[in-house]
Every structure is written in structure tokens, then in C-alpha cells.
A and B are shown apart, each in its own frame.
Chain A
């Protein structure tokens, strides 16, 4: 079975604060793929990052960074110096290598206040 848990339902920060969104996953496969998507208030779903299970290298893209740790089955997302435009719902997702199903977490709503 595959499962994604985003324990933080809502987070509220003040602009310029750093914030980390947690994602914990469960899978029995050794091959799997993890994703993060952003859903701003306008409603569309935007792809942010994809990581496969064989690549544990952390990634940084501007103010965004991702920490993939197989030892703790986590794929956490950090926004540095948050901005109001970062306000959105963020989803973590998982697909096992042999599966055709993509499973999403319930999402974390991030509000960045000016």
C-alpha cells in the first residue's frame, strides 16, 4: 500500500519567515517517485518538483528547497524568506514504481501574512 501524510493542515507565518512543510510517505517498493504541487488561491495545480527513490540529493530552487530522507520516509519542503505569493495549498504525492496510481496527501494550507 502507498500512503502520504501531511500532518500540518494549516500553517500561518509572517512574511520573510522560513517555513517547512512536512511530508511523510509509506511504500513497500524500493522504486518510487515523490512530487510536490502548489495550488494557489486561483485554483490551478502547479508542479514543483519530482524526486525518485534513488536520488537522495537535496534540491534547491531559489527560495525553495527539498529535503529527501529515506531513513525517515520524509520529503519535506522549505520556503526561505516566505512571501505573500507563497500563500497556497501544497500537496505532496507518491507513486510506487510498479503502480499506476498516484496518491496525494491531504495538503497543507500555507498563509503568508504581510
Chain B
């Protein structure tokens, strides 16, 4: 089954404790991206990747890192999480190196930073 898999689905942690949210897709998509969803703000793009080893900042990259060492994986790293990063996070992938095709989204990861 074609899918985007995020882990964990839920995480409660404390300020400053490094965490990684994994994202994996099995559709051989070039484009992958991370979004955060906050009430009243919609979905905002954090980082995106057009292909292996090619990443760039979205609209809200502060406090996040990403890597794309393999085509299927695009982890989101919070080196020193802070409470303002409490949010619902979505990973997505699509055909091609640009988001001109429909995005396939993961089920979301709800992060709470205390």
C-alpha cells in the first residue's frame, strides 16, 4: 500500500531534549516536506526536499533541522525543543522534484513540549 509513515504519532517531552520525528514513503517520490499545523494558522511549511541531499527552508524553519540521505526518508530533528514547537506535524511526499502534484500526507505527529 502506498503510504507516508510518520513516527511517533504522539510525543510528550521536555524543553531541550533532542528529538527526531521520522518520515518514510514507499512511492519513490522525489519531493518531501514537513508542515506544522497550529490553530488559526493553517499548515505552514517547515522544510522541503527536492531529492536526495537537496533540502531547503520553508516558511518556518527556525528550531528545526532535516536531512535527506535516502530517497524514502526525511526525518525532522528538533535539537533543543521549546514549548512554542508544540504542534501537529505532517510529513508529505509527491511525484517530481517540485510540489506540482498532489501531496500524500502522513497521519501526523502530535508533539507536546513542556
Contacts and interface: CB of A to CB of B under 8 A. Distances in A.
Interface of A: 6, 9, 33, 35, 37, 43-45, 47, 50, 52, 91, 93, 95, 97, 99-107
Contacts of B92: 45
Interface in B60-114: 88, 90, 92, 97-105, 107-108
Given A43-B108, A103-B59, A106-B42, 15 more contacts: A35-B102, A35-B103, A44-B105, A44-B107, A47-B102, A50-B102, A91-B43, A100-B97, A100-B98, A100-B99, A102-B45, A102-B99, A102-B103, A104-B43, A104-B44
22 contacts: A6-B42, A33-B100, A35-B102, A43-B107, A43-B108, A44-B108, A45-B90, A45-B92, A47-B102, A50-B102, A52-B100, A91-B42, A91-B43, A95-B99, A100-B48, A100-B97, A101-B45, A101-B58, A102-B48, A104-B43, A106-B41, A107-B43
Nearest to A48: B102
- Smallest CB-CB A-B distances: 8 pairs: A106-B42, A45-B105, A104-B43, A47-B102, A102-B99, A107-B42, A104-B42, A95-B99
A93 B45 CA distance: 11
Q: A interface, by DSSP: helix, strand, loop or mixed?
A: loop
Given A101-B48, A104-B42, A106-B40, A50 B101 contact: yes
A57 B102 CA distance: 19
> Chain B contact residues (Cβ within 8 angstroms of A): what range?
20 to 34
A36 to B, nearest CB: 10
B101 to A, nearest CB: 7
B42 A100 contact: no
Contacts of B107: 43-44
Contacts of B97: 100
Nearest to B48: A100
Contact of A102 (B33, B40, B41, B50): B33
A63 B92 CA distance: 27
A69 B97 CA distance: 28
Contacts of A35: 102-103
Nearest to B31: A100
Nearest to B105: A45
